[in-house]
Chain A
Amino acid sequence: MAGSTALPVTPTRAMLREAGLIALVVFGLSFSLVGFKIEDVPGGLAILTRFDGVFFATALAFLGRIGLIMLREQRALPVALTALPTAALVLLLQLFSGDLDPERSYPFRSGVVNWSLFAVALALGLRALWLTWHHGGSLSNRDARDAAMDRVGAKVQHAARFLGPALLGFAIVLPFLPFADRRLLDIAILVVTYIMLGWGLNIVVGLAGLLDLGYVAFYAVGAYSYALLAQYFDLGFWTCLPLAGILAAFAGILLGFPVLRLRGDYLAIVTLGFGEIIRVILLNWYTFTGGPDGISGIPRPTFFGLELTKRATDGETFHQFFGLTYSPMDRIIFLFYLILALALVTNLFTLRIRKLPIGRAWEALREDEIACRSLGMNPRNTKLTAFSIGAMFGGFGGSFFATRQGFISPESFTFIESAVILAIVVLGGMGSQIGVVFAAILLIGLPEFFRELQQYRMLAFGLAMVTIMVWRPSGLLAHREPTLRLHPKPGQENTS
């Protein structure tokens, strides 16, 4: 290989050390996470051990790291010769062992993991094979990669005006596509809910630059507003939706008033505290909110007064009115369109208000508060509007959540929800509307597809997050093209 002479070659010992270190980390993590499993067995709990999984994980991490190092230095042939057979082996093992019984599949006891492993090994092998014939363009050349991603980012930004409608069109026809089963639609509803929440929080964080770690509080206020109004006053979803929004916005003003004179980290900590306070109140005000028992029997939404159930409690049902045969999917599809509409309203509102003086003022405030003061802006009121409008959309989202679940309890409104929504906004690229969509699909949709892994699917969440941070530290699609230049030019960015 003529091209390889120009590149520095890592000595074998250094290579082994680096791979050994990675293997050690993987071993440490997987030993307790994968190695033991507590299972319900007749007569109590039992600890099952799965050390074979730990062994495979460690060995694969070791080999994979060596493969990456060698690829970086363009010593591709040995990598290809190892990775491709490994991929084939994994494929065969999965095909022959997995279909019988997932608990016996090899190398890991989960089809999803095995298939992912196969995909990674195949990609590595093919890449290596490609490099064996074509020298140049290396995977880990950071500058080239960043520049390439910048170009992609700029293209997507440019394409956003077509991409947005295209995605919307796809979302509209989604329920009628042949592969749209109940599971997929449920995931889609969840993803769109988070897109909407992301867009709502984007007003506060992305536009006005207020770091809010307690957004879930408004989500909770919206959900409980609807649930309680329905329980105590027998009001329907469509009456409660605006009320829930107003109440959440009001909560936003109430919370915002004392805290918005704080800045940056301080604001973040106080909002985090408020998020928890709301949850603790919901948890302890037993006589009013039901405390940890939550509220059940929350009414389902109606389609202009038509119920989407098999038999109507009063009046007609949706399928009777339209002379259709009843299908339980109707309700799911209706919920999907409902949240899609709510999300669209959020988006259109944001796009519109951004062009109005108040939207401009938010962005100016994010850039330079002192300058804003000297121009006669009232920073507190300006921030309050951003805070309460963001809260209002959180409230809409919350009442949708309540009507979809039919049951809510404080458990659904923990800090992790705020963190996830914030992650969607930040990783999407602060202020970028379409970035929020991609980040939500990646962070919410992806782990849902790994649901088979049960609690381990949070690892997929972590993986998605780390991937974005490594590949796009400024967010998938940073808002306004020039914002990219906020950071050092690619190439000076090696510290990240």
Chain B
Amino acid sequence: MPESMLKISGVHTFYGHIEALKGVDMEINEGEVVSLIGANGAGKSTLLMTICGNPQARSGRIEFLGEDITRRASHEIIKGGIAQSPEGRRIFPFMTVFENLQMGATVSDPRHFDDDLERVFTLYPLLRERRNQRGGTLSGGEQQMLAIGRALMSRPKLLLLDEPSLGLAPLLVRQIFDIIKQINEEQNMTVFLVEQNAYHALRLADRGYVLANGEVLLSGTGAELLANEEIRAAYLEGGH
């Protein structure tokens, strides 16, 4: 029985009067890659943000490594070992690659910094070459790598990725997913992946969830969901 890392039960999140999450239950185990797919506006980003406490869930419970983090402040949650590469990458455009990575290490022990930097540079040798280039002048793919690298700088136990393949060419998409797999296998990193690209996301994932209108519609192993007729029709039409 694998150990549960993140346990979400009955989470409701509101934006004003709009109920974006309507009682979500989900579980992520240590060492897994879990993918979350769903249509635009289903509430995927909201779920990732709620895990990080910004916005906080109005009701329900989120447990991380056995501790209740539902009411914790954002920076406390991140300090506890969750890192996020948010939707739209959000790297700092006027800071250099190196400075961006420094910002990623905000909550981690400065003594680890050199090791962590080396690890990220090994993963993305390109970032080493570009360390003094401004973030805003990187290409879309490079920016995505920087965003993931920046998230890894805090030595997280759980990595949340929001649409890392957004706006990338097919070749780069493949590369990004390969790297996610590599992080998972080599560093035994638990990854929670939100994706529009259902095919790649489910192929990579140990397990997957489908979110629709703020509720979990389906769940299962990656292979099961890939084979599911409904999902094929709704998310995989027209190939990948």
Residues from chain B with Cβ under 8 Å of A373 in the complex? 52, 54, 74-75
Residues from chain B with Cβ under 8 Å of A376 in the complex? 74-75, 77-79, 106-107, 154
Question: Closest residue to B90 on the A side, CB-wise?
Answer: A371
Chain B: minimal CB distance from A62 (Å):
46
* Docked CA distance A378–B99 (Å): 18
Question: Closest residue to A367 on the B side, CB-wise?
Answer: B92
Chain B: minimal CB distance from A15 (Å):
44
A368 touches B90 (CB 8 A): yes
Chain A: minimal CB distance from B106 (Å):
5
CB of B204 closer than 8 Å to a CB of A: no
| A109-117, A312-320, A358-366, A439-447: which lies at the interface | A358-366
CB of A136 closer than 8 Å to a CB of B: no
Give B92-144 interface residues, CB cut-off 8 Å to A: 92-95, 99, 102-104, 106-107, 110, 134, 136-137
Query: Which of A360, A361, A370, A483 is the one whose CB lies under 8 Å from B90?
Result: A370
B52 touches A361 (CB 8 A): no
CB of A357 closer than 8 Å to a CB of B: yes
CB of A374 closer than 8 Å to a CB of B: yes
Interface string of B69-99 (1 = CB under 8 A from A): 0000111011100011110001111110001
A363 touches B95 (CB 8 A): yes
A361 touches B92 (CB 8 A): no
CB of B150 closer than 8 Å to a CB of A: yes
Give A359-391 interface residues, CB cut-off 8 Å to B: 360-361, 363-364, 367-368, 370-378
Chain A: minimal CB distance from B91 (Å):
7
Residues from chain B with Cβ under 8 Å of A378 in the complex? 73, 75
* Docked CA distance A376–B107 (Å): 6
* Docked CA distance A373–B137 (Å): 23
- The total of Cβ contacts below 8 Å across the A-B interface reads 72
B54 touches A367 (CB 8 A): no
* Docked CA distance A357–B137 (Å): 23
Query: Which of B73, B92, B137 is the one whose CB lies under 8 Å from A371?
Result: B92
Given contacts A374-B52, A375-B78, A378-B75, contact A480 B94 (CB under 8 A): yes
Chain B: minimal CB distance from A482 (Å):
6
Residues from chain A with Cβ under 8 Å of B52 in the complex? 373-374
Interface majority SS (helix, strand, loop, mixed), chain A: helix
* Docked CA distance A376–B106 (Å): 7
* Docked CA distance A367–B52 (Å): 20
Chain B: minimal CB distance from A300 (Å):
45
Residue in A361, A370, A371, A376 with the greatest tally of chain B CB atoms within 10 Å = A376
Chain B: minimal CB distance from A157 (Å):
15
A375 touches B106 (CB 8 A): yes
Residues from chain B with Cβ under 8 Å of A364 in the complex? 92, 95, 99, 103
Chain B: minimal CB distance from A432 (Å):
14
Interface string of A238-250 (1 = CB under 8 A from B): 0000000000000
A375 touches B134 (CB 8 A): no
Residues from chain B with Cβ under 8 Å of A357 in the complex? 102, 106, 110
Residues from chain A with Cβ under 8 Å of B154 in the complex? 375-376
* Docked CA distance A363–B99 (Å): 10
* Docked CA distance A370–B49 (Å): 11
Interface string of B148-173 (1 = CB under 8 A from A): 00110010000000000000000000
Given contacts A375-B78, A375-B154, contact A370 B86 (CB under 8 A): yes
A367 touches B75 (CB 8 A): no
* Docked CA distance A371–B49 (Å): 11
* Docked CA distance A480–B96 (Å): 11
* Docked CA distance A367–B135 (Å): 12
Question: Closest residue to B86 on the A side, CB-wise?
Answer: A374
A377 touches B84 (CB 8 A): no
Question: Closest residue to B48 on the A side, CB-wise?
Answer: A374
* Docked CA distance A483–B99 (Å): 16
* Docked CA distance A373–B86 (Å): 10
State the A residues within 8 Å of B (CB).
357, 360-361, 363-364, 367-368, 370-378, 480, 482-483
State the B residues within 8 Å of A (CB).
52, 54, 73-75, 77-79, 83-86, 90-95, 99, 102-104, 106-107, 110, 134, 136-137, 150-151, 154
Subset of 21 A-B contacts with CB under 8 Å: A360-B103, A361-B103, A363-B92, A363-B95, A364-B95, A367-B93, A370-B86, A371-B86, A371-B103, A372-B103, A373-B54, A373-B75, A374-B90, A375-B78, A375-B103, A375-B106, A375-B150, A376-B77, A376-B78, A376-B79, A377-B107
